[in-house]
Structure 1
Amino acid sequence: MWGKDTSTPFQAGAPEMTYIAAECDFSGKIMIKGNARIDGQFDGTVEVTGDLVVGPSAVVKANILAATVNIAGEVRGDITAKEKLELSSSARLYGDICTHQLKIDQGAKFVGTSRLMEESESS
């Protein structure tokens, strides 16, 4: 009962996750080391060293820089995804993109230009 708690809520080596819930309305510049998920509203600039997920309820008005980006909600801003950008069928993206790989599901809305990232740009 009063002994040492040997359970670990986080696995060693597991990537960190930052979460902005659906009830949150946040603005500013956010820089995240690790992975992130946004389900609320965000206005500003987003930089993520890992993966970014924009959930179906999210409305993001920001320029985004991340390793990979997966969008199911709405994004208004330019995106640089160093590895991959995925737009699910519910995604709405208004902005220019630059990435190595692009996947757009049927039903997604994309208004902007896309550019293939060169190897020298990804580092």
Structure 2
Amino acid sequence: MLKKKPATYREGQAIDTLIGPQVVLQGDLMFSGGLYVEGRIRGRVVAEPGQPAVLTLAEQGCIEGEVEAPVVIINGQLRGDVHAAERVELAAQARVVGNIHYRVVEMSAGAVLTGRLVHADAQPAAVAETGPAAEPAVAEPVAMVANA
């Protein structure tokens, strides 16, 4: 039997699962390999722990929920926090409302982030005193737009 070669959408990254533009998925989704989303997902999208995984959100795609994957590429709309163990790419049409936890981030001109960028190695601010005068340092949310 002939084996069909997986479709590729980027240098060496295969699409194992495609959520088409007419699909609305409600509920949590666990995946491994390459997941390409052109439709809408309402729920958590989580990569299988210990497995290589790339989530790509297409320009017309939308995710409403938390995302956890080693590599996350966003060119659509995402409402929720992103946890990327390796890399996050915000393409030109990316619209993110939520915090992005990353190790490496790439942001193209035109991408919009309303939330916080949190580096994976960042340590939370330690409170020196525990009395009533001591207040923990809190980072303010930012709205970012990458311009050319």
TM-score relative to the length of structure 2? 0.71
1:29 match: 28
2:83 match: 80
Residue 33 of structure 1 deviates from its aligned partner by: 2.1
- Work out which of the residue numbers 103, 106, 110 in structure 1 matches 2:106: 103
Aligned counterparts of 1:36 and 1:89: Cα–Cα separation in 2: 20
CA contact (8 A) 1:36 1:48 kept: no
1:62 match: 65
Aligned counterparts of 2:46 and 2:79: Cα–Cα separation in 1: 15
Counterpart residue identity of residue 9, structure 1 = K
2:136 match: none
Runs of 4+ aligned structure 1 residues displaced above 3 Å come to none
Aligned counterparts of 1:90 and 1:10: Cα–Cα separation in 2: 30
Q: Which runs of 5+ in 2 are unaligned?
A: 7-12, 123-148
Counterpart residue identity of residue 80, structure 2 = G
Aligned counterparts of 2:32 and 2:105: Cα–Cα separation in 1: 23
1:46 match: 45
1:9 match: 4
The DSSP-based 3-state class of the residue aligned with 2:93 is coil
Aligned counterparts of 2:14 and 2:75: Cα–Cα separation in 1: 21
More strand by share: 1
Aligned counterparts of 1:106 and 1:36: Cα–Cα separation in 2: 24
Counterpart residue identity of residue 18, structure 2 = Y
Among the aligned pairs, what percent are the same residue? 24
- Kindly indicate whether residue 107 of structure 2 is the aligned counterpart of residue 118 of structure 1: no
Q: Do the aligned partners of residues 113 and 72 (structure 1) sit closer, same or farther apart at CA in structure 2, a change above 3 Å counting?
A: same
Q: How many residues align?
A: 112
The DSSP-based 3-state class of the residue aligned with 1:66 is strand
